[in-house]
Amino acid sequence: MTIRRHILPCRDLDGCRRNDQRGSGTALMAAVLLIVAVVAIAVACVIAWFGCIHNARSAADLASLAGASAYGTGRDACAVARATASDNGATMTACKVDSNGVDFIVRVTVEVQAKPQIKLGPGKFSYTSQAGNV
């Protein structure tokens, strides 16, 4: 019985061209880490945008409540709502008071800048809220 040995195609190892995959794990891990980093940044942006949406809702609700309270005491509802929205980091874009002499509703629309701002993401978040004595 003879044992066959694997004979290298060239006898001099320095002159042989290696066909192994050394270093491929490094390139693969670099690609995986890059993908994980991009996904992590995207998730962080979306979470921050949800915070901006919450801020817009809160500012709109507070502004409409403050405007309704002011209107109920005879003051300018939109001026008070604008100041309240500004105090809460929002910009009031619309204000309307509907009244029939007895009942009233104050509708306020506010905008909040999206943070972080990126080209593919939203620039602003807007929310409308209403309050009154109805």
Q: Report the half-sphere exposure of 117 (CA within 13 A, side-chain side).
A: 6
Instruction: Kindly state the greatest CA–CA separation across the chain.
Output: 112
What does each C-alpha distance from 35 to 2, 29, 42, 77, 129 come to in angstroms? 52, 10, 11, 50, 40
Give residue limits of the domains in the chain.
24-132
pLDDT in tens, 58-72: 999 999 999 999 998
pLDDT-based confidence at residue 33 (cuts at 50, 70, 90):
very high
- What residues does 17 pair with on adjacent strands? none
> Which pTM was predicted?
0.72
**pLDDT of res. 37:** 97
96 within 8 A of 129, measured Cβ to Cβ: no
